[in-house]
Chains A and B, each alone.
Chain A
Amino acid sequence: MIAGLLLALIAGSLVSLQNIFNSKVNERAGSWATTTIVLGLGFLASLTIGLIFEGKHLFILQNMQPWYWISGLIGVGVVVCLVQGIRLLGPTYAISIVLTSQLGFALLWDSLGWLGLEKVPFTFKQLIGVLVIVGGIIVFKIGGRRESQTLISRATSIT
């Protein structure tokens, strides 16, 4: 469990850094050029690390289902939704909704165990936990009128 939490914390820290870097690229080059370069580099990095750890095994794709090839398109949907949401609502409110929705769907997914994930039974305790976290997000984002980073390209990162 500790290893899992640690990995999630590492991922979150890198997402934060990546968002800041991406927003710098985004300011000048626009969201599609940013998304293209972010995903292109992410692909190259994954390919390289994969080759280092697995060598030729990287290209052995067991039980490959057709939809696996297009699942990367979800990331493009994320970019469209975040760009439009931030344009219409401003970053503070848009990102508050994004984070809340992220957590809500996480709880739904655990409870239903869709896509062959191990089911984590839904309990009252879990609902309370998620509500407290959502409360924290809202206090963090809305409290003190603090404009947040544009998280436009997180799309490409959280995946």
Chain B
Amino acid sequence: MRGSLFAFLGGAFITLQGVANSRISQDIGTWQAATITQLTGFIMALLILIFVRDGKWQKLKQVKPLYLTGGAFGAVIIFSNITAIHRIGVTLTISALLIAQLSLTFIIDSKGWFGVAKMKMRLPQFIGIGMMIAGVVILRF
């Protein structure tokens, strides 16, 4: 029950974050919004990291450098997310975003790229993505 509540709130926060960024960008601009919100989040996460002090961060050196660069995608993700929300609304943006996200994860999993454990494509995943696309078509047309 507590786990479901956390997951539910997590989803709410993700949407709220996109909406808040869109609002902020109307006033100060899109790149400004992306820069400021990530700076604040970075400072807070750093404070928590220092406070938690589990020492695990020292293992960062063992991580392949390529995987450390994922954060840089954030700039393009936030820019695209904000611009899409302005153009097509929150519901369609999140729907299309989730379809691309789940489809690409699915492809990467089934090919075993980036050293992820290889997983076979199964019928339910195809049906699931088909239903999601059908849902977007219903939303829009």
Provide the bound-state CA to CA distance between A38 and B10, in Å.
Answer: 18
Known contacts A4-B92, A28-B59, A105-B15; is-contact A139 B138 (Cβ 8 Å): no
Query: Residue of A at shortest CB range from B60?
Result: A29
Known contacts A1-B88, A46-B74; is-contact A9 B97 (Cβ 8 Å): yes
* Interface pair A12/B99, CB less than 8 Å apart: yes
Provide the bound-state CA to CA distance between A133 and B132, in Å.
Answer: 4
* Interface pair A15/B77, CB less than 8 Å apart: yes
Known contacts A102-B98, A140-B132; is-contact A43 B104 (Cβ 8 Å): no
CB-based A-B contact count at 8 angstroms: 469
* Overall SS of chain B's interface: helix
User: Shortest CB–CB separation between residue B7 and chain A, in angstroms?
Assistant: 4
Query: Residue of B at shortest CB range from A149?
Result: B105
* Overall SS of chain A's interface: helix
Query: Residue of A at shortest CB range from B10?
Result: A81
Chain B hits for A28, CB < 8 A = 56, 59-60, 62-63
Chain A hits for B40, CB < 8 A = 69-73
* Interface pair A74/B13, CB less than 8 Å apart: yes
Known contacts A12-B101, A75-B37; is-contact A102 B94 (Cβ 8 Å): yes
Interface residues of A toward B: which range? 35 or more
User: Shortest CB–CB separation between residue B30 and chain A, in angstroms?
Assistant: 9
* Interface pair B35/A21, CB less than 8 Å apart: no
User: Shortest CB–CB separation between residue A119 and chain B, in angstroms?
Assistant: 9
Provide the bound-state CA to CA distance between A71 and B90, in Å.
Answer: 18
* Interface pair A78/B74, CB less than 8 Å apart: no
Chain A hits for B128, CB < 8 A = 136-141, 143
Cβ proximity bits A123-159 to B, threshold 8 Å, 1 near / 0 not: 0011011111111111111111011110001111111
Interface positions of B (Cβ within 8 A of A): 2-4, 6-24, 26-29, 31-42, 44-46, 48-49, 52, 54, 56-57, 59-60, 62-64, 66-81, 83-102, 104-106, 108-109, 114-116, 119, 122-125, 127-140
Interface positions of A (Cβ within 8 A of B): 1, 3-5, 7-22, 24-25, 28-30, 32-33, 35-50, 53-54, 57-58, 61-65, 68-82, 84-89, 93-95, 97-107, 109-110, 114-118, 120, 125-126, 128-144, 146-149, 153-159
